[in-house]
Amino acid sequence: MEDVLGNSSFSANSFPLQSIFDSSWEGDKFPLGFMELLGVQDFTSTPLFDTDPPMKIESPDAFNLPATPNSSSISSASSDAVNDEAVKVDEQEEDQQKNKKQLKAKKMNQKRQREPRFAFMTKSEVDHLEDGYRWRKYGQKAVKNSPFPRSYYRCTSSSCNVKKRVERSFTDPSIVVTTYEGQHTHPSPLMPRPSHGGSHLNSAIAAGAAFGMPMQRAQTHYYHHHRQHPFGNTLSALGHDGSSINAGFLHERRLCSSGQSLLKDHGLLQDIIPSHMLKEE
DNA sequence: CGGCTTTGACCGGCGC
DNA sequence: GCGCCGGTCAAAGCCG
């Protein structure tokens, strides 16, 4: 983990590393490819929210990304619960695509297992952020408590079952909330890796790419480090290079636990953060 | 013509 | 059981 997070520019913002995925994943059950891509291996499962061990649904972590072309980006991320059934889900999903009825049957037999989810907010003018992967939109729904619809995307790669949801914050329309679900099983089609890779930046990009995060213009814009956005400390932004991604990741956790400002984006975040948490905090 | 978006319908989960 | 809601499907249309 040091190569990506420990050294490099990121260290300046030293966030608690282990908090990145923490409570969502129960240590040994964590999907590994994920972490490998992130370059994080020794995360520990520290409780994210004091309040909810059993609820392992979504544990927000701050996540800061460089922005979209015409805007700065600030993000807060959350990783969702995951479980040891993740692999099984893959198979299940394939079935889904092939045979709807079979899927039904499966659903009957076992509750639908969710892929690990990871949500973050990005300040952007465009809804659909370029993140190095190709996505096909497969649905759009009106969101309760928000005038903005939520869009559903699936990775176009046939073997890849990664999905993402994109919605805009109604409290701050300039904020786009993206929730990724699953892990890419292939390299980014739009981001061929430089052969001389291995730098923290590349690693970070790979990490982001693993989720399909918006990585474009990774070095273009960035917010100042603290509290410059409408969400108070809910979002933090740095992002002078790829590694800040990881930094943000962690940071957000702190936000969650401290929490107050989350309420500001209540309507939106309630999709990411269990509403009871918002209340409690 | 292939790939993608749009959009209404459908389904399952969940709370009442 | 019913209704709401989130998520997904799939037909139709659009576009390069």
Who's near A41: CB < 8 A, 6+ residues apart?
Answer: A1, A35
SS3 A143: coil
The structure tokens 């690990």 sit at A116
Q: How far is the CA of A196 from the C1' of C4 (A)?
A: 53
User: What is the reported pLDDT for A52?
Assistant: 36
SS3 A90: helix
> Beta carbon of A22 within 7 Å of strand C?
no
Distances from the Cα of A25 to the Cαs of A18, A81, A83, in angstroms?
11, 6, 7
User: What is the reported pLDDT for A239?
Assistant: 31
> Beta carbon of A107 within 7 Å of strand B?
yes
Q: How far is the CA of A112 from the C1' of B7 (A)?
A: 25
Model pTM above 0.85: no
User: What is the reported pLDDT for A186?
Assistant: 74
Q: What is the pLDDT along chain A (281 residues), one digit of tens a residue?
A: 433 333 333 333 333 333 333 333 333 443 433 333 333 333 333 333 333 333 333 333 333 333 344 444 455 555 544 333 333 433 333 333 334 333 333 333 444 455 667 777 877 777 766 777 888 899 998 888 788 889 999 888 777 778 888 888 877 778 888 888 877 777 666 555 444 444 444 444 444 444 545 544 433 333 333 333 333 333 333 333 333 333 333 333 333 333 333 334 443 344 444 333 433 33
> Beta carbon of A104 within 7 Å of strand B?
yes
Q: How far is the CA of A138 from the C1' of B4 (A)?
A: 10
Phi and psi dihedrals of A172, rounded to 5? -145, 95
Is there a contact between A180 and A131 (Cβ–Cβ < 8 Å)?
no
User: What is the reported pLDDT for A12?
Assistant: 34
List bases, strand C, within 7 Å of protein CB.
5-10
User: What is the reported pLDDT for A176?
Assistant: 83
Q: How far is the CA of A279 from the C1' of C3 (A)?
A: 26
